[in-house]
Structure 1
Amino acid sequence: MKHLERYLIPIGTLIVGVILGGFFLTGEEVKIPNIPNFKSDPIDEINQLLDAIEEYSMYYEEKDPLIDGAMHGIVAALEDPYSSYLNEEELKEFYDHIYAQYAGAGIMIIQNGKYPVINTVYENTPASKSGLQRGDVIYEVEGQSVADLTTSEIAALIKGEKGAERSMRIYRGSLDNSIEIKLNVDIISQETVTTEVLTQDGHKYGYVSISMFSEGTYEEMKKDIEALNTNNNLNGYILDVRNNPGGMLTTVKKMIDYFIDTDEPILYRKKIDEEPVGEYANSIDSEISKEIVVLINENSASASEIFAATLEYYGDHELVGKTTYGKGTVQNTFFFTQDQEVAVKLTVETWLTPGKDWIQDVGVAPTVEIDPAALEEIGFIDFFEPLKYDTVHTEISEMQALLKKLDYSDTIRTDGYFDLETKNALQEFQEDYQIDVTGELNFETAYHLNIKLMELLESKEEDVQLNKAKLVLKCKIDEGEACEYSQD
């Protein structure tokens, strides 16, 4: 064991023992001879610890995982949720996120009980070409059960190098229909901007949903908005940054600059014990002159909050929805090595709104507050909990709420007790979807109910915050400064 004698001197002796219930069961004492004039420092102590583990621990296998754990632990001791050590694999995932690109199958999954359910199959991806469908229940990947794994752990099993073959086993429709799916991993470029034209009372609105501010989001947005305007005389825009976790400061600056024209700072950056420094975005000589409404919610964070706060401050554009997350800090990434394989992400400064407000843990408040649809509180139904009349279960309450939303009963209870009215409503649903009319909540029934819930959650007609944004936009277009709208 290299240098063990030197490193153990500061503590005199190393006690090798076992701790049982708070008591020491002491084994052999290893005595180390004194070394004159030795001075301890933290690096020496870390090396001492590593050497001791290597020499004595019955669980020691190799040093790299210990180093990795130590590096993570050092940064975690800052107790900053936004600072982190990134090993080679984590750094790759970080850049996959920043550049909205990864090697995978092209699906979005949600956790539902023990197994994940496919919520979205993206077009022109290995998943769509293999025949995977919305609602499929994944229960194996590469022969390994995925029961009780997190969505991140399941994604890690599916991802890989471009061209790598992956096999999955899924249930579709019923437990009797088990299908093996094979596909080859490919590079998936995520769309961070989606657009469409919405109409209301003779007005046309450009709806622009921004899922994150990645490296290519500005160019993607610019191209999509130009396409929207090609054959449409748009009256205004609805910019949706709900559930947008943020992204790159350089990207959000360009996007703010696209919509407003100002020579004033769009935000301020402040280091500890220093005065705030203005950050400008005036490289793009353009401004959208039409009315704009920005949609925000409690999951709009960081760059999304910069975007919303600045458009409201300089453009007097309305913010519709709920108060944002409240992340008012900036992180930089520092590389350890020339090959840039590992790095540390550290919080280096705070950012302030154009009005010099710090929104950390406070968020950006909407100018028009409105709760999301009650629909979003309905959970997906676990496939593996067969339930019937005269039982009580949380899955039954989810089913009841969804059946009520689907107009199978206006008076159905939603407390989780499976009564006769619930059974009748469920039988009617089963009949409509050509399921065996059992009046029981089984796998096949839960499968079809969950697909209906996915469709409802995507429906813009059911999106009360979006519908409110359309009303606010119409009011501002029709009445200008005289516009008054209720918070209801």
Structure 2
Amino acid sequence: MSDDPNGVGFISNSRGVSDVPTIATQVPTQPRRRSFWILALLLTFGVGFLAGSTADELAFAKDTSDPYSKLETFAQVLSQVERSYVEEVNQEDLINGAIKGMIQSLDPHSSFLTPSELKELRDRTAGQFVGVGIEVGVRDGAITVIAPLPGGSAEAAGVQTGDIIVSVNGASARSWTLQDAIKAIRGEEGTSVDLEFQRKGEAETLHLLLERKVVQVVSVESELLEPGYGMIAVKSFVRNVGQDVRTQYDTLVEANGGEALKGLILDLRNNPGGLLAEGVDLANIFLESGLIVSTEGRSGLELARHEAQGRSSYIDVPLVVLVNGGSASASEIVAGALQDHHRAVIVGARTFGKGSVQNIYDLEDGSGLKLTIARYFTPAHRSIQGQGITPDIEAADVELPKPAAEPDRTREADLPHALENHTTQAKPEAERKEITNLPTRTALDQLKAFRILSGKEP
């Protein structure tokens, strides 16, 4: 995420980042803590000793069987840089840079977070942050917009899913890591950043000056499309999404005159993910029983299984889920679970394909480590990593043209001496909104077809 330090939809958390239970307790942490303590001790004592020494005076033990013996080389390099680099250097910046480089070499979603970045992450999962309002990830080696966020300056300026960030404030982003992009785009509230985008199918790039401002994430919205049929859009999986969806469903029922809905559309388009627990909670609303998602760590070791709880709040309504290339992480967990259990028809375009789990660890100095600890699998043990969820029905996210007026035709009732219709009560015409979005129209048609084929409509 460009102005969000957690990348594309981190889906787990630990120790102070959130109060949601996580799988962190199932992952052995002692070896990692030992490595950080060893690093801290070597840097505190070893580097202090090296600062006034020459290479010939180094007195570290050279035990090559010890995996931490390479820290001697690191300490030598750090000492040499501090003594000989052409300009003054800050030791803390050098060490943080080295740690960031180590973590970034693992995968696009693991990262070292400074205290300020960790705070931003907490704010983001709480549903508010400062930025231009776009989620970004690395796709085919390029920094790519996963989704513009409602209320952000990027959405207002017309930034679209799939736009590639070419440069930030004139600096080329073509060889950047995800964290490079996040750092460059992030800034103080009220300041602006110049972003250059390359849009698919267009020769010229697009330059936009976007203001950094507080973005209040509206995670759940709902709309009654026509009597009996509603849509709930989930924008991101921040805290309390599951409860918000239940509330919005009750609102739709109330708007429908208190009668149960005939069908529901769950819109996960451009939802980049978020907290794993919230994704599980959302799937729980529509599944009575069965596996929702499992996670596997190193060597295929299963770390966690999340099962539907059969809660009284289960919503038994025909369901269609909308997805696209901006649906990632927890969105894919929900779509995959509902698809594998044949609980919903998935409509739209193939999803982003982020099938990994990140955990957040608080470190002693207030910084944090976001580390990929597992892959997740759908109930049918499908890995979404790099593949995404393929919809049951493909529908490009485009707007339909308004239908042309039907030419005047002579009908039965227009014929001379036509027989009268003696039906005692004509079926009233339902109030309907004009729906021009192709996936939404397709989803609504699917729900109506289900009602007809199941004999629930005359």
Give the TM-score, by structure 2 length: 0.62
Q: 1:308 aligns with which of 335, 357, 368?
A: 335
Following superposition, the deviation at residue 71 of structure 1 comes to 1.0
Q: How does 1:55-454 map to 2 (within 5 A)?
A: 55-78=83-106, 80-103=107-130, 108=133, 122=151, 148=170, 156-159=186-189, 166=190, 189-199=216-226, 203-232=227-256, 233=259, 234-262=261-289, 264-274=290-300, 276=302, 278-282=305-309, 284-337=311-364, 341-373=366-398
Kindly, what percent of the aligned residue pairs are identical?
26
Asked whether the equivalents of residues 339 and 346 of structure 2 are also in contact (C-alpha less than 8 Å), the reply is yes
Asked whether the equivalents of residues 149 and 217 of structure 2 are also in contact (C-alpha less than 8 Å), the reply is no
Question: What is the alpha-carbon distance in structure 2 between the residues aligned to residue 327 and residue 136 of structure 1?
Answer: 25
Following superposition, the deviation at residue 70 of structure 1 comes to 0.6
- Note if 1:474 corresponds to 2:453: no
Aligned to 2:3: none
Asked whether the equivalents of residues 7 and 45 of structure 1 are also in contact (C-alpha less than 8 Å), the reply is no
Over 3 Å counting, the alpha-carbon distance change for 1:167 and 1:91 in structure 2 is closer
Asked whether the equivalents of residues 112 and 370 of structure 2 are also in contact (C-alpha less than 8 Å), the reply is yes
Aligned CA-pair RMSD: 4.0
Following superposition, the deviation at residue 136 of structure 1 comes to 11
Asked whether the equivalents of residues 324 and 363 of structure 1 are also in contact (C-alpha less than 8 Å), the reply is yes
Q: Name the SS for the 1:258 alignment partner.
A: helix
| Structure index of larger Rg | 1
Question: What is the alpha-carbon distance in structure 2 between the residues aligned to residue 51 and residue 34 of structure 1?
Answer: 11
- Provide, for residues 141-187 of structure 1, a one-character-per-residue CA deviation record: whole Å limited to 9, x for no partner: xxxxx96489967864442xxxxxx4789xxxxxxxxxxxx99x7x6
Following superposition, the deviation at residue 481 of structure 1 comes to 8.6
Q: Name the SS for the 2:230 alignment partner.
A: strand
Following superposition, the deviation at residue 190 of structure 1 comes to 1.5
Asked whether the equivalents of residues 260 and 315 of structure 1 are also in contact (C-alpha less than 8 Å), the reply is no
Over 3 Å counting, the alpha-carbon distance change for 1:226 and 1:7 in structure 2 is farther
Asked whether the equivalents of residues 257 and 282 of structure 1 are also in contact (C-alpha less than 8 Å), the reply is yes
Asked whether the equivalents of residues 350 and 389 of structure 2 are also in contact (C-alpha less than 8 Å), the reply is yes
Following superposition, the deviation at residue 319 of structure 1 comes to 0.4
Q: 1:3 aligns with which of 46, 49, 69?
A: 49
Q: Relative CO higher for 1 or 2, CA cutoff 8 Å, sep ≥ 6?
A: 2
The letter for the 2-side match of 1:102 is F
Asked whether the equivalents of residues 254 and 284 of structure 1 are also in contact (C-alpha less than 8 Å), the reply is no
Comparing 49-58 and 273-282, the one that deviates more: 273-282
Q: Name the SS for the 1:298 alignment partner.
A: coil
The letter for the 1-side match of 2:368 is A
Question: What is the alpha-carbon distance in structure 1 between the residues aligned to residue 187 and residue 386 of structure 2?
Answer: 35
Asked whether the equivalents of residues 150 and 217 of structure 2 are also in contact (C-alpha less than 8 Å), the reply is no
Over 3 Å counting, the alpha-carbon distance change for 1:293 and 1:65 in structure 2 is same
The runs of 5 or more residues in structure 2 that have no matched partner are: 1-46, 137-147, 160-167, 174-180, 194-210, 404-432
The runs of 5 or more residues in structure 1 that have no matched partner are: 10-31, 112-118, 128-132, 138-145, 160-165, 170-181, 376-404, 408-458, 484-488
Asked whether the equivalents of residues 318 and 447 of structure 2 are also in contact (C-alpha less than 8 Å), the reply is yes
The letter for the 1-side match of 2:447 is L
Question: What is the alpha-carbon distance in structure 1 between the residues aligned to residue 215 and residue 358 of structure 2?
Answer: 26
The letter for the 2-side match of 1:222 is R
Over 3 Å counting, the alpha-carbon distance change for 1:189 and 1:329 in structure 2 is same
Question: What is the alpha-carbon distance in structure 2 between the residues aligned to residue 195 and residue 65 of structure 1?
Answer: 46
The letter for the 1-side match of 2:93 is P
Asked whether the equivalents of residues 346 and 392 of structure 2 are also in contact (C-alpha less than 8 Å), the reply is yes
The letter for the 2-side match of 1:464 is L
Question: What is the alpha-carbon distance in structure 2 between the residues aligned to residue 91 and residue 242 of structure 1?
Answer: 27
